[in-house]
Amino acid sequence: MLPEFNDLDQFRAVLAGAPEPDTAARAGAEAHNSALTKPPGALGRLEELAIWYAGWRGEARPQIVAPQVIVFAGNHGVTAQGISAFPADVTVQMVANFKAGGAAINQLAQAAGAQMDVVALELDRPTADFTQGPAMTKAELVTALRAGWAAVDRDADLLVVGEMGIGNTTSAAALCRALYGGTAEDWTGPGTGLDAAGVAHKARIVEQAVALHKSQIHDGLDALACLGGREIAAMSGAIAAARMRRIPVLLDGFICCAAAACLASVNARALDHALAGHQSAEFAHPALLARLGLDPLLSLGMRLGEGSGAALAIPVLRGALACHSGMATFAEAGISAG
Ligand SMILES: Cc1cc2ncn([C@H]3O[C@H](COP(=O)(O)O)[C@@H](O)[C@H]3O)c2cc1C
Ligand SMILES: O=C(O)c1cccnc1
């Protein structure tokens, strides 16, 4: 059973009590890895990935058989400020596309053998324009966190969270600016394809919003209420629920990592069960990954979101576990160890 939370302080307490990996399973996986029929270290980072995954699953030789991709969708009042190359209507239209199987993430989830769920969050009720006031009330934020929390399949053995929400790279940039400082320009990029003048305008909006809310923001959850979005908060809730169930997580691009950063600001160890699936081409994603201390598995110039980059990384992790758990040891194969 997952613990419950009804307000932000209870959610903070849940994060503070996040479970740790199973040290015995991890030690068993390390020992098993060193007995496999290959030169030591020859599988490079795959070896470290398999041991990390085994620790979280509490099993020395696990396989990945039930990955889950969840795409959360939300609408953003800040689109009134002209900060996206696309109109806000695209969010609901893309949700229909996800449900019909026509989006990139449908194909990538299927190619990775993952279950895909779509959770649309009150699309007819955009968050408030955060240049004018907080994006969400505390109660609205709790509702969105809980939607993400409840969406994680208890039987999943790997989780990817993705998003759809026109305007959400502005929200993600504002979250980063609020959490990490610097200038708005440091965190603002073209998103769906703004030109240089559009990015400059977007950065001014980010700066204005952060200045408005700064005095109210003491951690990532305050930042989420003031500057976030429902789909971003739901990603935070899902990443946290996965931790409670010891389900490893592959993070996607800039927006997903901004959701993760909000958790890390409450508990620095809150993302120990998460890896960066990829590095997005969105301008500030490398800087955000550096702040989170994450080294992405892939870097393919993607800047889509939807969980697409992380879904592509599922087969990498699955390959690591297939080798780790399926290979013969030197003793089993009768091969001379070095
Ligand atoms: C057709 C279409 C499909 C998408 N799938 C993801 N995004 C991505 O773009 C949006 C963020 O960019 P911005 O902040 O510039 O609006 C998010 O919805 C994100 O998931 C899409 C965007 C479009 C137009
Ligand atoms: O980094 C991402 O995931 C991203 C970048 C641009 C637009 N949508 C998503």
Within 6 A (CB) of ligand 1 lie 84-86, 90, 94, 163-170, 191-192, 304-306
Ligand lying closest to the C-alpha of residue 280: 2
Q: What is the pLDDT of residue 1?
A: 82
Q: What is the pLDDT of residue 151?
A: 98
Report the separation in Å between the CA atom of 9 and the middle of ligand 1, taken as the mean of its atom positions: 32
Report the separation in Å between the CA atom of 291 and the middle of ligand 2, taken as the mean of its atom positions: 18
* Structure tokens given for 290: 């550096």
Beta-bridge mates of residue 118? 71
The model carries a pTM of 0.99
Q: What is the pLDDT of residue 199?
A: 99
Residues belonging to the active site? 306
Per-residue pLDDT of the chain (338 residues; tens, 9 = 90+): 899 999 999 999 999 999 999 999 999 999 999 999 999 999 999 999 999 999 999 999 999 999 999 999 999 999 999 999 999 999 999 999 999 999 999 999 999 999 999 999 999 999 999 999 999 999 999 999 999 999 999 999 999 999 999 999 999 999 999 999 999 999 999 999 999 999 999 999 999 999 999 999 999 999 999 999 999 999 999 999 999 999 999 999 999 999 999 999 999 999 999 999 999 999 999 999 999 999 999 999 999 999 999 999 999 999 999 999 999 999 999 999 87
Set out the domains of the chain in order of their start, with CATH numbers: 66-316 (3.40.50.10210)
Asked casually if ipTM beats, i.e. exceeds, 0.95, the reply is yes
Burial of 48 (0-12, 13-18, 19+ CB in 10 A): middle
Helices (H), 245-307: 254-264, 285-292
| Helix (H/G/I), strand (E/B), else coil: 152 | coil
Report the separation in Å between the CA atom of 318 and the middle of ligand 1, taken as the mean of its atom positions: 28
Looking at ligand 2, which atom is closest to the CA of residue 254? 1
Beta strands in 99-169 (DSSP E): 115-120, 158-164
Instruction: List the residue whose alpha carbon is closest to atom 20 of ligand 1.
Output: 164
Q: What is the pLDDT of residue 146?
A: 98
